[in-house]
Structure 1
Amino acid sequence: MGDDGSKKKTCNHIILVHGASHGAWCWYKLSTLLTSAGYRVTVPDLAAAGIDERRLEDVLTFADYSKPLLEIVVSLPADERVMLVGHSFGGMSIALAAEMFPEKVAAAVFLTAFLPDCTAPPSFVIDKLFEVPISVWMDTQFKTYTAEEKRPASVLFGPQFLESRLYQLSPPEDITLAKTLIRITSLFLDDLRSRPPFTADRYGSVDKVFIVCEQDFTIPEQHQRWMIENYPVKEVKSIEAVDHMAMVSKPKELCQCLMEIASKYS
């Protein structure tokens, strides 16, 4: 019997976008699970991240940083739509991709990620998080530069911060991996503060799902739910007993979440 078109297709192509200081490597467990389940998975390194050869001083703007993702999305066949999954700061990059190419995005999934709205500059949800005492960031190193130096302010997560606030529920071997592979990065806050809000007719038109990580000490659950209240999404899912790095601490549960989302948004 032929397909009468009444059966909804699953979004089969998933793009996983890492957060600050990380790279494609942090998705290794989830990428394996999704690929084994029959999904096409693309996992880019953003500029000056992972094994990308650029240095941070070569990446002056947030758009430059996100360029590897944007290049993938723009290269998709005309009839293909993808599910974007952004983790942490990766939420900002998938928001930019949704703003630029809304017709290519079946769903934008924010995994304990920054969720910008359509009224404030994109930096707003990050600036609100940084209202906490600087001591929360422990041994993380922040550095600013003068306008003449033409470099974005940088951040490098410290080993104590990694163990206590990013990976506190993750296997020890993944903490060791992170300590080996994380790179200095930027949150490009000056650039994001100067950008206009994302637009309602482009970014706002894309279906969005937020996955709450309940034991996240980096973007705490309270801040995650504040972002959702500030800019409601199509659907909210939640994973219990999981830290900021859900892709390594609860990969099977996260995989199940993403498969459920892919089956609903095509």
Structure 2
Amino acid sequence: MTSTVHNEPVILLIHGAWHNSWCWELLTPELVERGWRVETVDLPSASADPENTAGMYDDARAIREKLASIDGPVTLLGHSYAGLPMTEAGDALNVSRLIYLAAFQLDKGDSLSGLSGGALPSGDTGTMPAAEDVRNHLYADASDEVAHGAAERLVLQTVKSFSEPLTTVAWQTVPSVFVICDEDRAIDPGFQEQMAARAERSYHLPASHSPFLSMPARLAELITEDAGR
């Protein structure tokens, strides 16, 4: 039995809260066209189950398990909430680069609930729906068709995923890149700038929170150009 050898650069796309891997359906072909092998992972903290109690550590475990099935080197791209489990799990030996796409590049001991000043609940149980106005909040610059289709597929997110603090900080040992979305209405671009100071380099996109749906070709080009550095 022979094993398959992959020569393409590999990228693992990690979705944010309330989403699943479907959100990469427009970005994936753009990356493949530019020579990438694309892998995805579904985080257990996002599901339709209102009794779900999977947390950030469970999400990090899912990322580690996926990484164990991939030959390196692997670029990880995490969007929004995914910055946390990516930071927790991204120090695997086969990871060569971390890309924070409007994502939480936080430090040891940080959690989203802790940083929210009470805006987010904390605890081990309970689930939350996405913001009421997701069209404006998450997909402001996407087409009506794409935004509506995405909003229809959102699921619940566990409170526990927002509550568990980072114990490992991969960006301290793995090269990292931050992509700031200048028109973001979900994570303040000014706060993104502050987090981006932790990365080796940063880029700006004239996008709202989900450029993989509004400008996938431009995002794929940015990812590919950075890989060539």
The alpha-carbon distance between structure 1 residues 94 and 126, as it changes in their structure 2 partners (threshold 3 A), is: same
CA distance in 2, matches of 1:176, 1:43: 22
Could you tell me which residue of structure 1 aligns to residue 84 of structure 2? 92
Residue 143 of structure 1 deviates from its aligned partner by: 6.8
Q: For structure 1, which segment, 164-173 or 12-21, has the greater mean C-alpha deviation from structure 2 after superposition?
A: 164-173
Q: 2:42 aligns with which of 20, 41, 45?
A: 45
Residue pairs, 1:34-113, within 5 angstroms: 34-49=31-46, 55=49, 57-77=51-71, 80-99=72-91, 101=92, 103-113=93-103
- Match 2:147 to one of 158, 165, 175: 175
Question: Shift of the alpha carbon at 1:250?
Answer: 1.3
Q: 2 CA distance for matches of 1:215 and 1:75?
A: 36
Give the TM-score taking structure 2 as reference length. Answer: 0.86
What amino acid is aligned across from residue 109 of structure 2 in structure 1?
P
d(CA) in 2 for partners of 1:189, 1:248? 24
Residue pairs, 1:137-176, within 5 angstroms? 151-160=124-133, 162-176=134-148
2:215 corresponds, among 250, 258, 264, to: 250
| Alpha-carbon distance in structure 2 between the residues aligned to 1:239 and 1:179 | 22
Distance in 1 between the 2:89 and 2:60 partners? 8
Which residue, out of 167, 173, 196, partners 1:228?
196
Q: Residue 148 of structure 1 corresponds to which residue in structure 2?
A: none
Give secondary structure in 2 for the equivalent of 1:63: helix
Distance in 2 (CA, whole Å) between partners of 1:127 and 1:220 is 17
The counterpart of 2:109, out of the listed 108, 117, 121, is 121
**Separation of aligned partners in 2, 1:253 and 1:126:** 32
Aligned to 2:3: none
State the TM-score, normalized to the length of structure 1.
Answer: 0.75
Given candidates 173, 178, 203, the residue that maps to 1:210 is: 178
Alpha-carbon distance in 1 for matches of 2:122, 2:113: 17
Matches of 2:191 and 2:46 in 1, distance apart? Answer: 26
Q: Which has the higher helix share?
A: 1
- Verify: 1:237 aligned to 2:210, yes or no: no
How large is the RMSD of aligned CA atoms in angstroms? Answer: 2.4
Deviation at 1:19, TM superposition (A): 0.3
Task: Report the number of matched residues.
Answer: 222
Instruction: Give 3-state SS (helix, strand or coil) of 1:169's partner.
Output: coil
Unmatched 5+ residue regions in structure 2?
1-6
Give a deviation string over 1:104-156, Cα, whole Å, max 9, x none. Answer: 11100000000012xx4131x6643x249x5xxxxxxx7777xxxxx434221
Pick the structure with greater CA Rg.
1
Q: Deviations over 1:150-174 (max 9, x none)?
A: x4342211442x1122111111112
